[in-house]
Amino acid sequence: MPGRTQAGGAEPRYTPCIRVWGRLGGRNLGGPRHPGRWLGVETDRQTPPSLLPARSRRRSPYRHTPPPAQLCQVPPTMNLFRFLGDLSHLLAIILLLLKIWKSRSCAGISGKSQVLFAVVFTARYLDLFTNYISLYNTCMKVVYIACSFTTVWMIYSKFKATYDGNHDTFRVEFLVIPTAILAFLVNHDFTPLEILWTFSIYLESVAILPQLFMVSKTGEAETITSHYLFALGVYRTLYLFNWIWRYHFEGFFDLIAIVAGLVQTVLYCDFFYLYITKVLKGKKLSLPA
């Protein structure tokens, strides 16, 4: 599909190639992530392709990046969907922390899901030590990491006596091991930071499963827990609209992040229906066992 130029002409977009370890004898045909001009914190990019060494400008089959000339025409601003998605994500985290702190209890909260989210943020934001993108980006990354580990600390230490470990029994190794293997096999570039970033994208798409499993096992969820889950679902849905916006206006897409986001959104669909039909009408939310 041709790319649009400022003069209305057409330029060929990057042709897809492959970066799957072992398929071509282990050759690395991936490429680094998209430029750091993008301000969101979920899938931020590091260096514009035009500034990379020639051997690093290899193309990934899972990402389309506009040609360098086209990149210069893209304003370095954040679209509304991405900004609202970040706010919804932040709201979900704050709701969870307030729920635990005010009630002095972590009953109904899956500690395993929170550990997975802490792993997700840690793996994704290791580039904090190597790349500066923007003050907003850096602050949000630090907040996500700090809040996730604070939540884990409150569940397993501060309010450990209230943690319902008898119902939080989901086998997280069934999530961590497959996503780790997939990150090694399917990624944009076979480098430590890129593999960890890809692993975080895959793992985040299924990290909520222990929480949903726990709600299903107990039969119901507190209203504030339902609000937390709903805010997480809204964050993911808004990020899908963000991808549509970016493809339409910037000519950029990342297939790995999009597919993982779709999987995560599908997991929330049943919850969305129950939230709208029950919680918003003042009833307790319950998932089928």
- Rounded alpha-carbon distances, angstroms, from residue 207 to 8, 174, 202: 44, 11, 9
Domain segments of the chain as ranges: 80-241+257-281
**What is the maximum alpha-carbon separation in the chain?**
66
**Rounded to the nearest 5°, which phi and psi values hold at 33?**
-75, 170
Task: Compute, in degrees rounded to 10, the torsion defined by CA atoms 233, 238, 243, 248.
Answer: 150
Q: 134-178 pLDDT, tens per residue?
A: 899 999 999 999 999 999 999 999 999 999 999 999 999 999 999
Whole-prediction pTM: 0.77
Q: 5-52 pLDDT, tens per residue?
A: 334 443 333 333 334 443 333 333 333 444 433 445 665 544 344 434
